[in-house]
Chain A
Amino acid sequence: MKKIRAFINNSNISKFRFYFQIAAFVLFVYGGYFYVTISEKLPTFACPFNKGSGGTCYLMPLQHQLHMTWSRFIGPGGIHLLKGFLVFACFGLVFSKAWCGYLCPLGTIQDWITKLRKVLHIRFSKYGETTFKGLKKIKYILLFLLIIIPLGVSNSLLWLPKFSHDIFPPFCKICPGRIVLPLFTGDTSQIYIDFSTKTAMTMTALGMIVTGIFFTGSFFKKRFFCLFCPMSALLYIFSKVAILRLNKNVAKCTRCGNCYRVCDVGIKEIADDVINKNIVKDDCMLCLKCVEACPEEGCLEVSFFNIPVFMSTETGFFKRYCLRNEIK
């Protein structure tokens, strides 16, 4: 048992993650061809616009279920919505943010883009702390909008006229997943701008722009799109109570900042916070790179059902970061 534990702790999780992501990508992007439908409430961008999708991203049914008149909320519609949310919550409660780091196909694509940049030795860009804090908020705004707009399509909000149906489903219209993921099954039909009405044109054009930003942004900045992802915001609700957790043994932390500097989404608190034990932050995708980069024995630790499954060790750190870099 001790040996197995040491083996896991000293292993290279990033490598494991790389292959795991490929497997998950195949499942979510091509699974549909093999009649795989995992669930329709997945907390990850398994986009149903892609014919091969092995499941459905929860944001799509969520928007549809919110698209109803007030009166229906206290009837079968409400129950439907609640049921859907419960299924989604179960997924979130078990794997928490690991959906982002290990399973999300859009996340995986961004990681591949980063790999490409690394091979080319092109430097990543930086932004200041304040810019970062500002950008991070966008995902909450998007989440708010994707809830409120469907309501506004079927109801009049604040005595305003109802929104045009062309705006629906608002997030899918601007989501790069709708455009990018079908490309992997050879479907280019989502690359279009709908000129039929003003609203439709704005929304589809926005989608194209966001997709452009998705590619350029994530080339220069690791996991750039994740900063704006409303799914990430939604999943964050569960991360404090989820079964899978990232814990920090704060007394052992030297605040060396190693974890922060390898973090793809730039979470500063992972190094600086020496008060909280449960250290999952809203942008965290539980990729566990920080655990790998921490040289202090047992300082960062991943637990499942309160059982530690992976933790930082001195030996592991040396294995992953140092000794292999001897002069060749």
Chain B
Amino acid sequence: MNEKAKIRLIIEVKKSLKEIMDDFSDVPEEMGYFYERFRAFFEETPNNGKKVIATMCIHVPVELIYAVGAIPLRVCSGARSMAEIGEEFFPAKACPLIKSTFGALYLNIFPMAAAPAMIINPTTCDHKKKIGEMAEDIDSCFYTLELPPTKETEEARFYWHMVVKKLAKELERVTGQRLTRKKLKAAIGIVSLAQAQLRRLYNIRKGNPVIWGNNAILVANAYFFDDIANWTDRLSRLNDELEDRARRNQYVVGQEAPRILLAGSPSIFPNMTLPVMIEQMGGIVVAEEFCSSSRSLYDMVAVDEWSLYDMIPAIADRYLKPGICPCFTPNIDRKRRLLNIAGDFCIDGVIYNSFAGCQLYQMESRHVEKILEQNGIPMLYLETDYTSDNTGQLTTRLQAFMELLQDQKS
């Protein structure tokens, strides 16, 4: 089964990448690096004997992982072939992202052919809560990161501070390295450099489009497994090129293309159907509210006293307070953030995707739609999973929405 699934995965990866590379012209040269990363998705990369720590969500404080000399690897998977493997273990209506991630864990298929020493699994949704108990089915060991259900109260905050402190201890144990003030400070520094470049990319995307949305999603996606220093460096070069393009008015689409904000369940490579379809139909994705892209690196750590006693809580705060995951209740901030993005990026319409099986995103969609409507922003709600069964219906609905937006624009 292992070999067969792996072959199907490789085909899937190739197909998805080919579609993007073939269908979209006028791509910045610097994208070449990122395409190459995805082509070599499963090839082994040397990691200088550093331990790899797998993460399953953006609520894992990666600074701590860097500080103990390990490498974080985000293993959330977008592969249909892996979801099919995972199906065995979950109820029929479970979220495809979880099924896929678990399928890959089950087969020990990791990006960069890594072998994680530990898998940090935050308790964000019911699926993730239960997945932690399925450790006997897989080889790696799960570590449950107890994310509080709310982020509003000081109680939740202090609880989370303790959880993160405990994680730091566990990381020290697994890696055999001590967490020191200097190392943690350096780790915050490394991550913040990556954050600075990602924010720069967003600022560029606020203007007339010089990069395809699917390309931008790929770039953010590569952060899951790429070496952070390389990634930052490459992104900074890409940003240079994009800024240059903006100066020369070299846009990938004309002004008439509807500017789309993609919200909800994340598009994770190779599941790029949605952004690719939107852009094939003449739209342009200028922003995503995805935990796989904008949300993963946007929020910043602010430390007041550079000693461990304040640095660890500062990092913890950054992974809790600005969170807009629908697992938090209440989650007013998500709606406020969406409105803000809509304004900043001059959004014409929002496409809200929810994975079939993700009740949290599904339930929030109504409220989001209402608020967007009040602000005169049209929204299309979609429910997708990793299969291509319902592409026909999806195409029709997307097309109708795009036409509506185009009419509004002209």
Contacts and interface: CB of A to CB of B under 8 A. Distances in A.
Interface of A: 118, 121, 123-124, 128-129, 251-258, 261-262, 268, 271-272, 274, 289, 293, 295, 314, 317-318, 321-323, 325-327
A323 B193 contact: yes
B317 interface: yes
B377 interface: no
Given A118-B305, A123-B309, A256 B322 contact: yes
B192 A325 contact: yes
A318 to B, nearest CB: 5
Contacts of A317: 300, 302
B186 interface: yes
B22 interface: no
B304 A255 contact: no
B314 interface: yes
Given A256-B322, A271-B321, A325 B186 contact: yes
B154 A255 contact: no
Contacts of B154: 128-129, 268
Contact of B303 (A271, A314, A321): A321
Nearest to B161: A126
A170 B160 CA distance: 45
A30 to B, nearest CB: 30
Interface string B191-216: 01101100100010000000000000
What is the size category of the interface that chain B forms with chain A?
A: 35 or more
A-B complex: 7 closest residue pairs judged by Cβ atoms: A322-B192, A257-B321, A256-B322, A258-B302, A325-B189, A123-B309, A327-B186
B337 interface: yes
Contacts of A289: 304
30 contacts: A118-B305, A121-B307, A123-B309, A124-B305, A124-B309, A251-B339, A254-B337, A255-B321, A255-B322, A256-B299, A256-B317, A256-B318, A256-B322, A257-B317, A261-B313, A268-B154, A272-B152, A295-B300, A314-B203, A317-B300, A317-B302, A318-B192, A318-B196, A322-B188, A322-B193, A322-B300, A325-B188, A325-B192, A327-B189, A327-B190
Nearest to B192: A322
B169 interface: no
Contacts of A255: 321-322, 333
B32 interface: no
A224 B203 CA distance: 41
A274 B196 CA distance: 26
A293 B302 contact: yes
Contacts of A322: 188-189, 192-193, 195-196, 300
A124 B337 CA distance: 33
Contact of A251 (B301, B304, B314, B343): B343
Contacts of B333: 254-255
A119 B98 CA distance: 47
| Residue among A123, A256, A321, A327 with the highest chain B CB neighbour number at 10 A | A256
Contacts of A258: 300, 302, 317
Nearest to A264: B304
Contacts of B318: 256
Contacts of B337: 254
B18 to A, nearest CB: 37
B185 to A, nearest CB: 5
